[in-house]
Amino acid sequence: MVGLVVVSHSERAAEGIVEVAAEMAGDTRLEPVGGDGQGGIGTVPDAIGDAIDAADDGDGVVVLVDLGSAVMNADVAVELSDAEAVIADAPVLEGAVNAAVAATDPSATLDSVREQAEAARGMEKL
Amino acid sequence: MTDDGAAVVAAVEAVAERIEDERSYLTELDSAIGDADHGGNMARGWAAAADAARDLDEPDAQTVCKTVGKTLMAEVGGASGPLFGGSLVFASAELDGGVTPESAVAFAETYLEKVEDRGDARVGDQTVVDALTPAVHTFKKSIETDDRPPLEALAKAVDAAERGVAFTVPIRAKKGRASYLGWRSVGHQDPGATSVLYILEELLAVAADRLDAEIPDVDATSPTIPDEGEEAADATAPDPEDD
């Protein structure tokens, strides 16, 4: 089944988002990754690559990202990864929840999960 | 070690030293428009990259570039890691057969494309692209169209990058953290573009040193008409004005 990676500048934010999305995720693999590797704010491509590998069971991985350099570092990790991985152009928390739900669909594909994540862009709250 | 490999290691060491020397200035530039970490991040990353390059056993140019890129990606942090490092890993494939004028042009073009793509930035956005684009275009034209020696082409590219850095001052940032400042980014020199210039200056210095040649006194706009002596020997070369 399609796996998910949540990338944030903050490791704790990534973990928190995964905690929220996991409620809806069934047995989907959800991997949080974030931080500069030295306890600070940032992202590291190698760590994102490891998370992609951990989330992949052969059906591919949708990557949710927060801002700026997290997007670029995720892009590098996707480029270097052997797994089939794509970045969803979506708000990170709402996209992760949508993707988690979509991934539990037995007919889910990498594209369908990404599409559902990106559908979160139009989500209205009020 | 191949000659090319040794030359690239020497270049990386020179860049690491230069960035360390300019660390506070780069940070000063970044503190005006960003988060004041560019100098420190780049100095740490390039120092680690120089260490990694020195540790390689008999590497070729491609291997050195790839290793340096990966180290920068891991150590620099922020957007500079994927931009400077990730692009280097990607473009290193062009040096598969060693460093020649042709492969250097292909490398430079691929690097620029990757930076533009990854950063979604174009000339005029007050980013590294403002220094890289004129440098790469000038290098390519000098080699491919004007048939100039590589060292002269590189010297012209450095001058073009210098003009590009100056160009970042009066414009408004459209990408990166500085873009959050809106019009307040006007009047500030882009730190990333400045780093590009330092890197290119060191590549030129190391290239001249290894060729045991003087750095040619040229600028990006200097005429490219061959010397008279060369003209006769080069009579079969196509003259662009004949077309």
Residue A36 is nearest to which of B73, B77, B86, comparing CB atoms? B77
Maximal C-alpha separation, chain B: 57
Contacts of B235 (CB under 8 A, 6+ apart): none
In the three-class reduction of DSSP (H, G, I as helix; E, B as strand; rest coil), residue A25 is classed as coil
- Chain B positions in Cβ-Cβ contact with residue A72 (cut-off 8 Å): 79, 81-83, 86, 118-119
ipTM above 0.85, yes or no: no
Average pLDDT of span B215-238: 64
* Catalytic residue positions of A, numbered: 9
Domain membership of residue A79 as a residue range:
3-121
In this prediction, residues A46-71 reach a mean pLDDT of: 96
Determine contact, residues A31/A3, Cβ cutoff 8 Å: yes
> Using a CB-CB distance cutoff of 8 angstroms, which residues of chain A are in contact with residue B78?
42, 69
Q: Domains in chain B and their CATH numbers? A: 3-221 (1.25.40.340)
- Specify the DSSP class assigned to residue B58: S
Residue A98, in any domain of the structure? yes
Please tell me if residue A26 touches chain B, with a CB cutoff of 8 Å. no
Cα B186 to Cα B171: distance, rounded to the nearest angstrom:
5
pLDDT of residue B165: 96
Whether B175 and chain A come into contact, CB under 8 Å, resolves to no
Rounded mean pLDDT of chain B? 91
Confidence of residue B176 (pLDDT cuts 50, 70, 90): confident
Q: Single out the residue of A45, A64, A81 nearest to residue A3, CA to CA.
A: A64
Number of H helices, E strands in chain B: 11, 0
The answer to whether the beta carbons of residues B115 and B89 sit under 8 Å apart is no
Mean pLDDT on A95-123: 96
**Residue A114 within any structural domain of the chain:** yes
Does the beta carbon of B192 lie under 8 angstroms from any beta carbon of chain A?
Answer: no
pLDDT given at position B235: 47
Predicted confidence (pLDDT) per residue in B179-198, tens digit: 989 999 999 999 999 999 99
**Contact of A65 with B73, CB cutoff 8 Å:** no
- The answer to the question of residue A27 being in a domain is yes
pLDDT in tens, B11-54: 999 999 999 999 999 999 999 988 888 999 999 999 999 999 99
Determine, for residues A42 and B177 on separate chains, whether the beta-carbon distance falls below 8 Å: no
Contact A69 B78 (CB under 8 A): yes
Q: Tokens 């996991």, residue?
A: A22
Domain annotation covers residue A17? yes
Which chain A residues contact residue B77 at CB under 8 A? Answer: 36, 42, 44, 69
Contact B207, B199 (CB under 8 A): no
Q: Are B162 and B195 spatial neighbours (Cβ–Cβ below 8 Å)?
A: no
**Does B150 reach chain A within 8 Å, measured CB to CB?**
no
CA distance B138 to B166: 16
Read off the pLDDT of each residue in A24-39 and give the average, rounded to a whole number: 92
pLDDT band at B2 (very low <50, low <70, confident <90, very high): confident
What tens digit of pLDDT does each residue of B137-166 get? 999 999 999 999 999 999 999 999 999 999
Does residue A126 lie within any of the structural domains? Answer: no
Return the CATH number at A34. Answer: 3.40.50.510
Q: Give the whole-angstrom CA distance, residue B193 versus residue B29.
A: 11
Q: Is the pLDDT of residue A9 over 70?
A: yes
CA B47 – CA B60 distance, rounded (Å): 20
Mean pLDDT of chain A: 95
Q: What is the mean pLDDT of residues B220-230?
A: 65
**Cβ-contact B185, B172 below 8 angstroms:** yes
A21 occurs within a structural domain: yes
How large a percentage of chain A has pLDDT more than 70? 100
- The verdict on B82 touching A (C-beta cutoff 8 Å) is yes
Mean pLDDT within A64-84: 94
Residues in chain A within 8 Å Cβ distance of B118: 72, 75-76
Nearest to A73 among B82, B89, B176 (CB): B82
% of chain B at pLDDT higher than 70:
91
Q: Computed over its alpha carbons, how large is the radius of gyration of chain A?
A: 13
Taking Cα atoms as reference points, which of A116, A35, A17, A79 lies closest to residue B85? A79
DSSP assigned state of B81: I
Number of domains in chain A: 1
The average pLDDT across B206-221 equals 92
Q: Quickly state the pLDDT bin for B232 (edges 50, 70, 90).
A: very low
On whether residue A26 sits in a domain, the answer given is yes
Q: Does residue A45 belong to any structural domain of this protein? A: yes
Q: Does B40 touch chain A (CB under 8 A)?
A: no
Judge whether B73 and B82 are in contact, CB under 8 Å.
yes
C-alpha to C-alpha distance for A2 and A111, rounded to whole angstroms = 10
